[in-house]
């Protein structure tokens, strides 16, 4: 536990809520979840399940009909044939990742991953007594690993490469050709790709490719949290390679028993055309917010070398204003009531120069946030050192 860091954004959120308790108005640009409530057809399906008394455990691997629906979704959305037997319902992507690293890693195994990256994934690997190997990435590689970087950092005790595309905090996508090349090379070394596809669906422009288009040996992490807007229901899924499914089954039986039953019944409505129409309208709304916030931040003097192509984050270089993004975020919250996430949540790669802005609030609040930041910058007490 000593090597596991807290998730600092939760401290910012707690302080923001405290200030709101004192009747301060806060613009929330820190929260990594959609501001929309769960789409009505999903809620209705959840209610029906509760009213029908569907409140008992499901099988550990999940409701067969939902596993089938997820497999069908891969055929529809990606043209990929997937056996429902490989789909495991989990408590969020978090549960999927825990199950994946639980069956895959031995103590001492190394796992390559991009830095900056989502911090909890790193900590799951540590929990298995395995070793996360952060690899610095920047705009030159769209904040993603490349085949060259993987080759450079690979060692005989490497077991896996963890890829997240679109990424948190940068919203960047790994190009299809690079993903295919990495999969091919890593599997040639006897390693495994673990692919976090949680922000699939929230992509603006290019389509995100699933790693399942290239291999049956990868683990895929996904969730109903982000695109499907179900964060609090705690439901995600894992696609495991066939030989690991029984191992995942045993692990899930022990650590979760099963994912939430009402959530699984609710998610049965997630792929219905009427639900997907709502989710697509929300995706367009996120895209419009990105198209407002990105130029607005640049105009204020933040550097964003690469336009994010997905998720709902902008990872901005704030070195024009400060060399301590953590102090800056705290001061901005206290003095101007704008909550943002400091870079240190996302690794060791120049965190002091970065802030993550989440456009998970209305256009009106985004405009208010930008106006407050513009007003704050000249008064900032966290100036960059000369």
Which residues here bind ligand PLP, judged by CB under 6 A? 32, 92-94, 118, 164, 168, 196, 198, 223, 225, 231, 236
Least distance between ligand PLP and beta carbon 275 (Å): 18
229 vs 337 by CB, closer to ligand PLP: 229
Q: Smallest Cα–Cα separation from 111: which of 128, 125, 127, 96?
A: 125
37 vs 320 by CB, closer to ligand PLP: 37
Least distance between ligand PLP and beta carbon 232 (Å): 9
Nearest residue to ligand PLP, scored by beta-carbon proximity: 92
146 vs 223 by CB, closer to ligand PLP: 223
Least distance between ligand PLP and beta carbon 311 (Å): 8
38 vs 168 by CB, closer to ligand PLP: 168
Cβ atoms of 236 and 224 closer than 8 Å: yes
Least distance between ligand PLP and beta carbon 334 (Å): 25
74 vs 312 by CB, closer to ligand PLP: 312
Least distance between ligand PLP and beta carbon 263 (Å): 11
How many residues in the chain?
A: 386
196 vs 324 by CB, closer to ligand PLP: 196
Least distance between ligand PLP and beta carbon 312 (Å): 10
93 vs 112 by CB, closer to ligand PLP: 93
34 vs 337 by CB, closer to ligand PLP: 34
Structure tokens at 139: 């705009």
Least distance between ligand PLP and beta carbon 122 (Å): 11
- Which are the contacts of 89, defined by CB distance < 8 A and separation ≥ 6? 58, 61, 62, 63, 66, 67, 235, 236, 237, 258, 259, 264
Least distance between ligand PLP and beta carbon 280 (Å): 20
109 vs 196 by CB, closer to ligand PLP: 196
Chain position carrying tokens 């943002």: 340
168 vs 380 by CB, closer to ligand PLP: 168
Least distance between ligand PLP and beta carbon 314 (Å): 14
Q: Smallest Cα–Cα separation from 311: which of 223, 215, 188?
A: 223
Least distance between ligand PLP and beta carbon 293 (Å): 18
């Amino acid at each position: 536990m000593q090597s596991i860091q807290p998730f600092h954004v939760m401290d910012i959120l707690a302080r923001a809520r405290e200030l709101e308790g004192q009747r301060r108005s806060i613009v929330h640009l820190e929260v990594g979840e959609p501001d929309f409530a769960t789409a009505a057809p999903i809620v209705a399906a959840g209610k029906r399940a509760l009213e029908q008394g569907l409140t008992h455990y499901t099988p550990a691997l999940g409701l067969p009909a939902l596993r089938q629906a997820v497999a069908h979704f891969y055929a529809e959305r990606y043209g990929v044939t997937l056996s429902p037997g490989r789909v495991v319902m989990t408590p969020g992507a978090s549960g999927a990742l825990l199950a994946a690293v639980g069956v895959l890693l031995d103590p001492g195994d190394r796992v390559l991953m991009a830095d900056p990256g989502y911090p909890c994934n790193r900590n799951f690997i540590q929990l298995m007594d395995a070793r996360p190997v952060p690899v610095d990435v920047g705009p030159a590689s769209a904040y993603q690993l490349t085949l060259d970087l993987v080759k450079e950092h690979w060692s005989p005790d490497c077991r896996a490469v963890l890829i997240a595309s679109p990424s948190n905090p940068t919203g960047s996508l790994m190009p299809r050709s690079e993903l295919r090349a990495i999969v091919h090379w890593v599997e040639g070394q006897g390693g495994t790709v673990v692919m976090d596809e949680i922000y699939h669906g929230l992509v603006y422009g290019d389509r995100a490719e699933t790693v399942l288009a290239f291999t049956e040996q990868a683990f895929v992490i996904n969730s109903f949290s982000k695109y499907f807007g179900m964060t609090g229901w705690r439901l995600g899924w894992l696609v495991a390679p066939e030989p690991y499914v029984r191992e995942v089954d045993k692990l899930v039986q022990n650590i979760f028993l099963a994912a939430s039953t009402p959530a699984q019944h609710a998610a049965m409505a997630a792929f219905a055309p009427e639900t997907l129409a709502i989710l697509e309208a929300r995706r367009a709304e996120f895209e419009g917010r990105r198209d407002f916030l990105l130029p607005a931040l640049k105009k204020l003097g933040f550097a964003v070398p690469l336009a994010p192509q997905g998720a709902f984050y902008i990872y901005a270089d704030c070195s024009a204003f400060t060399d301590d993004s953590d102090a800056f975020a705290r001061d901005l919250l206290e003095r101007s009531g704008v909550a943002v996430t400091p870079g240190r949540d996302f690794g060791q790669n120049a965190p002091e120069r970065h802030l993550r802005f989440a456009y998970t609030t209305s256009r009106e609040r985004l405009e208010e946030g930008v106006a407050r930041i513009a007003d704050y910058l000249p008064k900032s007490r966290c100036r960059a050192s000369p």
